[in-house]
Amino acid sequence: MSKNEEKFRMMLVWLCVISYFVSYITRVNYNSVLLEIEKEAGFDKVSAALALTGSCITYGGGQLISGWMGDRISPKLMVLMGLLLSAAMNLAVPLFTYPGFVLCFWCVNGFAQALIWPPLVRLMSTYLDEDQYKKSCVQVTCGSSVGTIAVYLLAPLCISRGSWRSLFFLCAATALVFSVIWFMGVGAAEKRLRKFVANHTSGLPAGEGNLQNKEGARSHTPFLLIGMIMVAIVMQGILRDGVTTWMPSYLSDTFHLGSAVSVLSGIILPIFGICCLQLTLQLNRRLIKNELLCAGSLFLPSCLSALLLLLMFSANPVLSVFLSAVITGCMYGVNVILASMLPRYFGKNGRVSFISGLFNSCTYVGSALSGSGSALIAQTAGWPAVILFWCGAALVGTLLCVRAAGPWKRFREQQKSVTGC
């Protein structure tokens, strides 16, 4: 690979990383100032939380629409639309603080956010080889974690210096500025990379390059395999978002800690997640090259950690935090494997973006199930029952990944035999 080609591929990757960072700061900012919105705008807890629920629904459902569109519309334009629409909603929320308006704005924002991930996957699968693609998936996912950390650090500063509204204005301005950078930067990178791809047949990518094969070489879609992967991703969503959401409440109720424990989910867990993402990449590259087996090897320690947490759920808060961090960290790794790395192999089918959206939507099905399910179980049966629920989800995820590893290996080899990926 020439230095010029490497330069433009790195440029594309970093634009994708920053775009996902921007998408997160314009999404999780509402969560970070939720209590302030309740106090200052006079929202009750149900009204304030309803916007989060609505956004989760439109984001998860929007992934399917975005995935379908992403295989047909320019990824550059789709991400641009998502960034601009999200910026507009972030401007609207602090200006019109009526509960009904905020609900509508944040539901639209959820859909705007859904326009970003599937096109990013298509772009990366188009211009990057297998190893570069996997590295870039980890880098882009790290961008989301850094975005979460940035928001939870900025939120107290904005509140102390003025109001929660300033956080929304800052995030909206960032999205608007980056929209211009994205449009110009991706346009320049794609123009150069198309020439490189055209000149190197062996470098035909899994996404765009294989559009040539769509008419005559569309492969059979393994629906049973896709179904098993989808259920495993749902289990991942139950664990990652469930533990992240409910760990502060669990620590507060069990060990009578103050509200400061919410910092753990906002800052400490994403930092631990970044470390686990890097370990996941090395695990897949060096030791377990079958992606489904690699995901299963991450579900297993989560299951064991949940079991230990169940056995010693009221023993020590530091131990509980550590075990919770292991669970969420492993699920960050599972997510990047199942929802990010796998869609590239569907390039021969011409469905990279759709599969990406479909898989990513499953994470939010799991998130919704965990959000309502964990609350109901905690209320009726207590925290040990919630932890048992998490342990069961991790066990199901482990078994599904191990069972699907063989069929996945055969499917992957079939794709490679045609695409050369």
pLDDT in tens, 194-204: 877 666 644 44
% the chain with pLDDT above 70: 89
Mean pLDDT of all residues in 221-250: 87
**Mean of the pLDDT values across residues 113-121?**
92
* Residue 11 exposed, middle or buried by CB count within 10 Å (0-12, 13-18, 19+): middle
Phi first, then psi, for residue 263 (nearest 5°) are -60, -30
Residue 219 is which amino acid? S
**What is the average pLDDT score of the chain?**
85
Residue 112 predicted with pLDDT over 50: yes
Q: Is residue 107 scored above 80 in pLDDT? A: yes
Could you tell me which of 363, 364, 391, 365 has the C-alpha nearest to residue 377? 391
Nearest to 267 by CA among 13, 31, 53: 31
What pLDDT score was predicted for residue 216? 42
- Domains in the chain and their CATH numbers? 3-197 (1.20.1250.20), 223-418 (1.20.1250.20)
Dist. CA 309–CA 361, nearest whole Å: 28
More confident residue, 200 or 363: 363
Max mean pLDDT among 173-187, 211-225, 243-257 falls in: 173-187
Q: What is the pLDDT at residue 264?
A: 61
- Averaged pLDDT for residues 111-123: 92
Q: What is the pLDDT of residue 114?
A: 93
Number of Cβ within 10 Å of residue 118's Cβ equals: 33
Q: What would the DSSP string read from start to end of 51-70?
A: HHHHHHHHHHHHHHHHHHHH
pLDDT score at 106? 93
Is residue 213's pLDDT more than 50?
no
- Picking from 37-51, 135-149, 218-232, 296-310, which range would have the lowest pLDDT averaged per residue? 37-51
pLDDT at 206: 46
What DSSP letter does each residue of 85-103 carry, written as one string?
A: HHHHHHHHHHH---HHHHH
What pTM was estimated for this model as a whole? 0.83
SS3 state at 1: coil
pLDDT in tens, 47-76: 777 888 888 889 988 998 988 888 888 999
